[in-house]
Homo-oligomer: A and B are copies of this chain.
Amino acid sequence: MDLKHYLSERKIFVDQVLDQSLTVVNGPNFRVVQAMRYSLLGGGKRLRPILCLAAAEAVSGDAVQVMPVACALEMIHTYSLIHDDLPAMDNDDLRRGRPTCHKQFDEATAILAGDGLLTAAFFVLAEAAVQHPEQATAYAEITRLIAEASGYQGMVGGQMADLLAEGQPSTLDQVEAIHRLKTGALLKASVRAGAILGGGSPQQIEALTRYGEKFGLIFQITDDLLDVEGESGVMGKPTGMDAIRQKATYPGVLGIAAAKSQARDLVAGALSDLQPFGEFADPLRHLAQYLLIRRQ
C-alpha cells in the first residue's frame, strides 16, 4: 500500500469533518470559536484520528462510523497543544508553522480556546452516543477510556510530570513514565477506541491496545530524536528546545544510537502484535514503520 496516499486521503477526510464540527456564527462567543478553529484547522498530521480509523478497519469496522471519536481525539490533542504552548508552560511562539494560539490571539483567548476544544470533544462523543443509542454503552466505555487517557491519570498528569522534570537529572524509568502519560496514553486510547467501536473481539482489542502502547513509545522516542536531529523548517517549530529546557528525553538518557535501536525493536514488537490481522492491518503496520523515518 501507498502510505503517503493513504495518509493524505485520510487527513482530507478528517479535516472536512473537523471543519464541520465547529462552525462560527456571529455571537458573543465569536472570538473563542475563531481561536478554536485557528488551532484545530491549522494543519497537523491528524495522527490520532488516523490511528483510530485504521484500528477500526483492522477489525473490519466502518471508518465513517468512527469519525466522531476521531474528531474528539484531535480536539483533545489540539487543546493540549494550545495549553502546553502558553507562557506559563512551554512558552512557545510557533506551532505547525504558524504563531501559537496565544500569539495570534492573546493568553485569555488561548486558555478559553483550549477549554472549549476539550469540552467540544466530549460534546461530539455524547452527540454521537445520542444519535446511535444502540451503541450508547460502547460510547460510554470509549468516553471513559479517552477521559482517563487525557486527564490527571494520563496526559494532564504527564504534562505536570514533564514540567517538574525540567532541569532535573532523569533515569530511563522516569522518562518512560512521563511519556507513557503525556503522549502514550492518548495514542494508545486512539487505537483502542477504534478497535472497540469498530466491533473488535476482546482478543483483537487487547492485541491492538498492545500495538497502541508500543506506538506511543515509538512516537515519543522519534519525537525526541527529531528535536535533536530534525529540521525546524520541515517541522514548523524550533528544534533543540528539549536540550535548552533540560527536558527528560530518550536520547538524553540513552544516547541517540540506543534510542534509535529501541525504537526499531519496538516497531518489530508492534508488527508482531498485528500479525493476526492480515492485510486489514496494513495501514497500522505502515504507520508504525513510518515513525522511524518521519521528518516531522
Shortest Cβ distance from A159 into B: residue: B112
Q: Do A156 and B122 have beta carbons less than 8 Å apart?
A: no
Docked-complex contact A151 and B120, CB < 8 angstroms: yes
Interface of A, secondary structure class, is: helix
Q: Are A161 and B106 in contact (CB under 8 A)?
A: no
Interface residue A163 (Cβ < 8 Å from any Cβ of B): yes
Query: Chain B nearest CB: distance from A181 CB in Å?
Result: 6
> How far apart are the CA atoms of A150 and B29 in the complex, in Å?
12
Q: How many copies does the complex hold?
A: 2
The 9 residue pairs across chains A and B that have the minimum distance between CB atoms: A29-B157, A28-B161, A88-B107, A129-B140, A119-B151, A126-B144, A123-B147, A136-B136, A126-B143
Can you sample 30 A-B contacts with CB below 8 Å?
A: A22-B152, A28-B161, A28-B178, A28-B181, A29-B152, A29-B157, A79-B115, A83-B112, A83-B115, A86-B108, A88-B108, A109-B160, A112-B156, A112-B159, A119-B150, A119-B151, A120-B151, A122-B147, A123-B147, A123-B148, A126-B140, A126-B144, A129-B136, A129-B144, A130-B144, A133-B137, A136-B137, A136-B139, A136-B140, A139-B140
With contacts A79-B115, A111-B111 known, what are 14 further pairs, Cβ within 8 A? A27-B157, A29-B156, A29-B161, A29-B181, A32-B156, A86-B111, A88-B106, A89-B108, A89-B111, A122-B143, A126-B143, A129-B143, A130-B137, A143-B143
